[in-house]
Amino acid sequence: MATTKKRNVSKSPSNKKKQSTKVNSTKKRNTNPKKTVKNSNVSKARKSNQQKKSNSESIKNPEIKIEKKIENVSIDNKKKSHPSVYVLLVLLIVIVLLGMQVIILIKESVAFNYNKVVEAEPIMSDNKIYDYNYCINEFSNNLSDNINNKINEINEYIKKYNVYVKYEDLKTGFSYGYREDEPLYGASLIKLVDALYLIDKDIDLNDTIKYTNNYRRAGSVNMNDEKINSLISLKKLMEYSITLSDNTAHIMLIDYIGKNNLKEYGHSLGAINILNSSDEFGSQSASDMIIYLKKAYELSEKENGKLLIDYMKNYYQNNLYLSAVNNVAHKYGAYNEYYHDVGIVYDFNPYVIAVLTKEGNNGNVIKEIHQKIYELHQLYYQEMMDICNNKVYNG
């Protein structure tokens, strides 16, 4: 047992060394207490010197601490400002949306009030301001000297020609006529009534008619290109008869509709003269044609009615076009001395006009008459607006 202990001690010289080091250190600490105190005082002095040095540096450079504080504050402010920015953006978007909604409501209110003014019964407000609609009716019944002078000027001009004229404003009903109720051979004007019948009766325009030799007529530019015994839709026949006034297309349509049915339809609208001859064209007056044009304008709310107006807006034999107004849906008719043009004029204030003549193929007469009617139309609206605006807003 004793030998074993000695072996162990001899095998661990490091332990000896460690132990001896500990002993020596202990001895040193115990043997030199004054020195230890001295060392601790030195370290304290060093620390105080370092602290004084750092304090002196901070005093010399106060910006360092201030900058650091500012940095910390700005970082904190940035962190705090983010949510407020988002809130402001959201508020801005909400304000914009509300503003747009207010604008829409104002527009709707203005439109509603305008329609209400036009359609309302004649009344006078507490401030004794005339209702606008009442003022218009009053103005139409008491035309100014300027308008009456213009009408006399048109009458003097028209007397030089063998013509029959009717004009009517579609908003107010203001009208002008010259021999407007006298009938004369209308030629292709009846083709407009074919189309009105199909649209007004809601007939399917995809229905077809077999094109046979017995339908063929002269003056058929479109149908001459179609094959005999082929099936032609009502829609195509309506297009041919309106755009290029195809006679074969008209004969096929009147056969499909029935001559008596077409006559009854015309009378039901208020026309007096329709198909009153042995052929399939007959006579019309300028007043009759105004009735048909107003019906076409009314039916333009329908899909097929819009299609008819598109067909009528063509340049072929269109003598109602003017430099000032060229958006005209028209139908012309011509045969020997008879030459006519009737149409809907899509001016800012739309109107209908029918000019029937016995002047041969002379489109310039129709154009010149229309120019004078257009001037009357503009004068009427200008004076009416001046007078009624003064009464309503300044009276």
Q: Same domain for 60 and 149?
A: no
The alpha helices in the chain, defined as continuous H runs, are: 2-11, 13-31, 33-60, 62-119, 132-141, 145-158, 191-200, 234-243, 247-257, 259-269, 286-299, 303-312, 363-389
284, part of any domain: yes
User: Domain of 156?
Assistant: 145-394
Same structural domain, 64 and 177: no
342 falls within a domain: yes
Select from 26, 50, 71 the last residue of a domain.
Answer: 71
pLDDT digits (tens), the chain, 395 positions: 434 343 443 444 444 444 444 434 444 444 444 444 444 454 555 555 555 555 444 444 544 444 455 445 444 544 444 557 777 778 888 887 777 766 766 655 544 444 443 444 444 454 444 567 777 777 777 888 999 999 999 999 999 999 999 999 999 999 999 999 999 999 999 999 999 999 999 999 999 999 999 999 999 999 999 999 999 999 999 999 999 999 999 999 999 999 999 999 999 999 999 998 889 999 999 999 999 999 999 999 999 999 999 999 998 889 998 988 889 999 999 999 999 999 999 999 999 999 999 999 889 999 999 999 999 999 999 998 888 877 776 65
Q: Which long-range contacts (CB under 8 A, 24 or more apart) does 56-62 make?
A: none
In the chain, the number of structural domains is 2
Q: CATH number of the domain that 383 lies in?
A: 3.40.710.10
- Looking at the fold, whether 49 and 198 belong to one and the same domain comes out as no
Q: In terms of domains, do 370 and 261 share one?
A: yes
180 in the same domain as 64: no
DSSP class of residue 220 equals -
Q: Are 210 and 185 in contact (CB under 8 A)?
A: no
Q: What is the DSSP letter of 142?
A: S
Q: Are residues 46 and 156 in the same domain?
A: no
Question: Does residue 77 form part of some domain?
Answer: no
Note whether 174 and 260 are same-domain residues: yes
Q: Is residue 178 part of a domain?
A: yes
Could you tell me if 67 and 151 lie in one domain? no
The radius of gyration of the chain's CA atoms, rounded to the nearest angstrom, is: 50
Assigned token pair, 37 = 């105190």
Residues 283-307 as b or e (16 or more Cβ within 10 Å = b): bbbbbbbbbbbbbbbebbeeebbeb
Same domain, 365 and 254: yes
Domain assignment present for 218: yes
Q: Is 28 among the domain residues? A: no
In which residue are the tokens 């106060």 written? 62
Picking from 71, 92, 120, the residue at the C-terminal end of a domain is 71
239 occurs within a structural domain: yes
The distance of Cα 327 from the centroid of its chain, to the nearest Å, equals 18
- Would residue 264 count as lying in a domain? yes
Q: Could you give the angle at which helices 191-200 and 247-257 cross, rounded to 10 degrees?
A: 40
CA 273 to chain centre: 40
Alpha carbon dihedral 10, 15, 20, 25, in 10-degree steps, equals 180
- Which of 127, 176, 146 minimizes the C-alpha distance to 384? 146
Residue 306 and residue 188 in one domain: yes
Q: Which residue has the tokens 């009408």?
A: 151
